[in-house]
């Protein structure tokens, strides 16, 4: 049995971290057929578009893709490939696990000092709704005729004054999309041996939009009673709790905007972009990718950290039902990080540490480690 997967190397450091992930995935012993496709800058040169139809079709056919980061060209008229991919494939769930690894420097806080950071033993997953909310892209620019008309309608309907030069963004939150994302979060919790789902909202102020999110989340969670614990929290209180006691959280499910902000906050809690994996998942397809971008200034230097992309590969293994291989890969990564020797510059205490290794060397160390790890299943 082998898995046919679309592989998109991407731009900048993308091909280097994608190579590293591919080597590690092959070393798990699982058989792969890589369907390599272009997106991003390389695709523009050949196909005159950063997201060729044949790349999309490959993902639709294979249903699973692993993708390096893609540069969003500035001033060319091309929109973000990442946003386009999510829309075209209806990838409604963005999943970002945030886990602290021994050996990865967690941020120290002023009162705690080094070694006393509260950001240890963090192990949570952000599940962000990807398709609606203020990110749906329904916006009206300031001082346009349509906006002026909308403002006068809104003022009449709501009785609330709106400045005549205001720009307007619309925040759609539906029961349909909320039901889908909360169901996804609960199923994810069950499939990944997680115990609790926290719905994050601001329903005390946004009674209709976030109120509907909360009401729907509660209704969905009731179906999982006894199997997945459920709670809800206000987004502002959640930010404070994440900084004070991140260990209290397990799976968090959020509307689009809060999800975007909190997933970066949580990536910061556990050591930043170098170790933050992710996935965008829909009913028809799933695309696995690191949270970080294409970091063009490091392109071709064999310098950057491949872990975020390798851990995205481990997420892909779990998605495919290959839990054993995923555990082996996760634990090999954890062991190499814990040793702190064969790691890239960003994981050393001093960024100029001459003992830092390159992207390829770190991937090879992880592969070597995979041969010796003994799986400890919790």
Residues lying near ligand NAD in the complex (CB under 6 A) are found at 69-72, 82, 273-274, 289, 292-295, 304-305, 308, 346
For the question of residue 250 being annotated catalytic, the response is no
Cβ-based nearer residue to ligand NAD, 177 or 295: 295
Taking the complex as a whole, how short is the minimal distance between the CB of residue 297 and ligand NAD, in angstroms? Answer: 6
Token pair of 323 as six digits? 């839990």
For the question of residue 202 being annotated catalytic, the response is yes
CB-based closest residue to ligand NAD: 293
Taking the complex as a whole, how short is the minimal distance between the CB of residue 308 and ligand NAD, in angstroms? Answer: 6
Cβ-based nearer residue to ligand NAD, 194 or 303: 303
For the question of residue 260 being annotated catalytic, the response is yes
Instruction: Report how far residue 183's alpha carbon sits from residue 187's, in angstroms, rounded to the nearest whole number.
Output: 6
DSSP letter assigned to residue 369: H
Cβ-based nearer residue to ligand NAD, 245 or 341: 341
For the question of residue 236 being annotated catalytic, the response is yes
Instruction: Report how far residue 58's alpha carbon sits from residue 7's, in angstroms, rounded to the nearest whole number.
Output: 9
Cβ-based nearer residue to ligand NAD, 234 or 273: 273
Taking the complex as a whole, how short is the minimal distance between the CB of residue 187 and ligand NAD, in angstroms? Answer: 24
Tokens 């997945």, residue? 228
Of residues 11, 260, 327, 330, which has the active-site annotation?
A: 260
Q: Would you call 179 exposed, middle or buried from its count of C-beta atoms within 10 A (0-12, 13-18, 19+)?
A: middle
Instruction: Report how far residue 178's alpha carbon sits from residue 220's, in angstroms, rounded to the nearest whole number.
Output: 9
Determine the longest span between alpha carbons in the chain, in angstroms. 70
Cβ-based nearer residue to ligand NAD, 95 or 220: 95
CA 68-33-54 angle, 5° bins: 60
Taking the complex as a whole, how short is the minimal distance between the CB of residue 77 and ligand NAD, in angstroms? Answer: 15
- Do 25 and 34 form a contact (C-beta atoms < 8 A)? no
Taking the complex as a whole, how short is the minimal distance between the CB of residue 366 and ligand NAD, in angstroms? Answer: 14
HSE at residue 174, side-chain half, CA atoms within 13 A, is: 8
Of residues 61, 165, 236, 339, which has the active-site annotation?
A: 236
CA 352-278-170 angle, 5° bins: 115
Cβ-based nearer residue to ligand NAD, 68 or 118: 68
Of residues 11, 67, 133, 135, which has the active-site annotation?
A: 135
User: Quick count: other Cβ atoms within 10 Å of Cβ 334?
Assistant: 20
Instruction: Report how far residue 69's alpha carbon sits from residue 292's, in angstroms, rounded to the nearest whole number.
Output: 7
Coil/strand/helix, residue 334: helix
Q: Which residues are catalytic?
A: 135, 202, 236, 260
């Amino acid at each position: 049995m082998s898995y046919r997967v679309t592989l998109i190397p991407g731009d900048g450091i993308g091909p280097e971290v994608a190579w590293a992930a591919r080597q590690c995935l092959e070393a798990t012993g699982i058989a792969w057929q890589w369907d390599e496709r272009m997106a991003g800058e390389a695709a523009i040169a050949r196909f005159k578009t950063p997201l060729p139809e044949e790349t999309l079709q490959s993902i639709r056919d294979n249903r699973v893709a692993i993708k390096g980061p893609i540069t969003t060209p500035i001033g060319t008229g091309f929109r973000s490939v990442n946003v386009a991919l999510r829309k075209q494939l209806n990838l409604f769930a963005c999943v970002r696990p945030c886990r602290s690894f021994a050996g990865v420097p967690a941020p120290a806080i002023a009162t705690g000092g080094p070694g006393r950071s509260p950001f240890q033993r963090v192990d949570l997953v952000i599940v962000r709704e990807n398709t609606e909310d203020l990110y749906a892209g329904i916006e009206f620019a300031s001082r346009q005729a349509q906006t002026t008309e909308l403002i006068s309608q809104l003022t009449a309907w709501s009785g609330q004054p709106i400045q005549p030069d205001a720009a307007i963004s619309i925040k759609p939150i539906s029961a349909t999309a909320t039901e889908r994302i909360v169901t996804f979060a609960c199923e994810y919790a069950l499939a990944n041996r997680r115990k609790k789902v926290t719905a994050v909202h601001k329903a005390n102020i946004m009674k209709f939009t976030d109120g509907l999110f909360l009401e729907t989340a509660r209704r969905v969670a009731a179906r999982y009673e006894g199997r997945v614990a459920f709670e809800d929290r206000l987004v502002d209180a959640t930010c404070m709790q994440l900084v004070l006691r991140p260990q209290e959280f397990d799976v968090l499910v959020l509307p689009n905007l809060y999800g975007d902000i909190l997933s970066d906050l949580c990536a910061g809690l556990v050591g930043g972009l170098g170790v933050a994996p992710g996935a965008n998942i829909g009913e028809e397809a799933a695309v696995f990718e690191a949270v970080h971008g294409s970091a063009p200034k490091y392109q071709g230097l064999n310098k950057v950290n491949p872990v975020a992309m390798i851990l995205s590969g481990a997420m892909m293994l779990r998605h495919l039902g290959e839990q054993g291989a995923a555990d082996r890969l996760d634990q090999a990564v954890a062991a190499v990080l814990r040793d702190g020797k064969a790691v890239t510059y960003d994981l050393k205490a001093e960024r100029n540490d001459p003992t830092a290794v390159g992207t390829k060397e770190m991937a090879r160390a992880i592969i070597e480690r995979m041969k010796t790890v003994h799986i400890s299943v919790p």
